Chains A and B, each alone.
Chain A
Amino acid sequence: MTDAIERLTLVQAADAVARGELSSEKLTEHALSRLARIGPTLNCLVAIHADSARAAARDADQRRARGETLGPLHGVPLAHKDIFYRAGQLSEGGSKIRRGFVPNETATVLSRLDAAGALDLGRLQMAEFALSPTGYNEHNGHVRNPWSLEHVPGGSSSGSGAAVAARLIYASLGTDTGGSIRHPSAMCGLTGIKPTWSRVSRASAMALSWTLDCVGPLAKTARDCARMLRIIAGHDSRDATSADLPVPDYEAALTGDLRGVRIAVPRTYYYDHVTPEVAACFAESLKVLQSRGATIVDTKAPDMAIINSMMHLVMSTEAATIHRAWLTERPQDYAAQVRQRIEPGLYYPAVRYLEALSLRAKLTQEWLAAAMGDADLVHLPTLSIPVPSIKETTEGEPAAIGAAIGVITHCTRGINYLGLPSASVPAGFVDGRPVGFQLVGRPFAEATVLRAADAYQRDTAWHDAVPPAAT
């Protein structure tokens, strides 16, 4: 089983440990070895805690031998975006400004994974302050896409995307304010879900925008995401914005049967930049969903200029509030590309900000009425174009780079203002680089999103493909 260890899904690895077919020590040694061998090539690691990971793995095996299984991820090695605090350990948010920051509290999502038995091997790279859809980080260097080292991995959860895709770990937590889970999922060939806003606690995760930030998993499959999400979701007294609603058994919802499920495809706006090769992948994905019983219906998007303006204003205003003191005292310690995305927020009147918040319910209902209609899900591109190169997104005039970044977030950023759940699912390859589509659900309909994604993955193998950097 050694050769196949890294090819297991999260659920397969966890279940193998639970059945005693694999030890946590074996899984962890394998992961540590791969992290050491492949991680530096991808520049996806910040810090790996090998000694404490080995000790935790030994403890997990001893507990299992005594019949003390902790939970559904007992003994499984994970690692996460360097945005989640763990008491007494560095947490730097991909930035120069927070270098050396040691929090005295632990993020609720990490505590919940600990309680479920998961091992935390260390911290993964990310875009500076979670502010780049490509993963751009001037301070720590470019994270490389495991499918092509000259191409971006997507961001801001760039290290999470690269590490899971390269089969270094089984899953990783990321955050998503404008697409930061879905971009690296799509660009690295993974499945990732941004849950409904408020579904998952953000306590002790570094904030970018309180109204838009969501925490969610990046993994190989929808089933992996379902297992992770059930563990991390639910009300948290440490996060007053977290929803006090029951958490479904997402894995139990994965029936493979999509009969009775209606999937809407808005052809306006979302297909503005889609290239023919990428469009062919989406068309094929719709056929697969249809063959599983789903009904496909055409719809239209409403005026997305309004929704995108709302998202921009809310994100930049809240980010400017968080960053104002640092922008004043240490402007030189931000990359220009990052600072430029925050600074407009210094100028919006408070009235405009409150209008944007006050209209959120109405605009979400308008979007659902137009784009989803009477359907259950909306099928959208995640990224409209083939995965861009590092060069294309870093060199040239700032306006051109800004425009390229705008194309990358074209189909994702509005969803954060709407607060809806959205998964990115692998849909094929163009020029050897992955393509992904989104499935967007109604508020708190993560089970339906994951059910459709899982049904699709029963008839496709894109999520099983292993990138060249993983070998």
Chain B
Amino acid sequence: MAISNALLIQLAQECHAMQLPENRVTGIQGLIQQTNTVISQAADARLSLDDHPASYVQWITESASRS
């Protein structure tokens, strides 16, 4: 089900106190929906309990030490 313009306008208002006219949200629903789908599927397939936002810094630092 597509995210409607009306929902995006309401979210902007309720979450960010921002008045977005319809012409500002038209065209971004598709991008938002696609990005949400791709990332949630990637997370379902890969994310484990050991992964967290700081895993990356830890990994590149260890990677530098090894090389």
Contacts and interface: CB of A to CB of B under 8 A. Distances in A.
Contacts of A442: 63, 67
Interface string A443-471: 11100000000000000000000000000
A444 B63 CA distance: 9
Contact of B38 (A197, A198, A306, A347): A306
A356 interface: yes
Contacts of A419: 56, 60
Interface stretch (A49-57, A105-113, A222-230, A359-367): A359-367
B35 A312 contact: yes
A361 B55 contact: yes
Given A359-B43, A360-B55, A419-B56, A346 B61 contact: no
Nearest to A399: B27
A443 B63 contact: yes
Interface in B1-60: 8, 11-12, 15-18, 20, 24-25, 27-28, 31-32, 34-36, 38-40, 42-43, 46-47, 51-53, 55-60
Interface string A319-360: 000001001100100000001100110111100101111111
A313 B51 contact: no
A358 B52 contact: yes
A355 B64 contact: no
B28 A358 contact: no
Interface in A229-261: 241, 243, 245
How would you classify the secondary structure of chain B's contact residues: helix, strand, loop or mixed?
helix
Interface size class of A (residues with CB under 8 A): 35 or more
B47 to A, nearest CB: 6
A363 B53 CA distance: 13
A306 B39 CA distance: 7
A169 B9 CA distance: 47
Nearest to B23: A336
B51 A358 contact: yes
Nearest to B63: A443
A198 B54 CA distance: 13
A354 B53 contact: yes
A349 B33 CA distance: 11
A340 to B, nearest CB: 7
A430 B24 CA distance: 37
A305 interface: yes
B17 A355 contact: no
B64 to A, nearest CB: 4
Contact of B28 (A243, A344, A361): A344
A241 to B, nearest CB: 8
B64 A243 contact: yes
Interface of B: 8, 11-12, 15-18, 20, 24-25, 27-28, 31-32, 34-36, 38-40, 42-43, 46-47, 51-53, 55-61, 63-64, 67
6 contacts: A309-B39, A346-B11, A348-B32, A358-B47, A360-B56, A442-B67
Which 10 residue pairs of A and B lie closest in terms of their CB atoms, listed nearest first? A357-B53, A361-B59, A360-B56, A355-B43, A443-B60, A444-B64, A309-B38, A358-B51, A361-B56, A361-B55
Interface of A: 196-198, 241, 243, 245, 305-306, 309-310, 312-313, 324, 327-328, 331, 339-340, 343-344, 346-349, 352, 354-365, 398-399, 419, 442-445
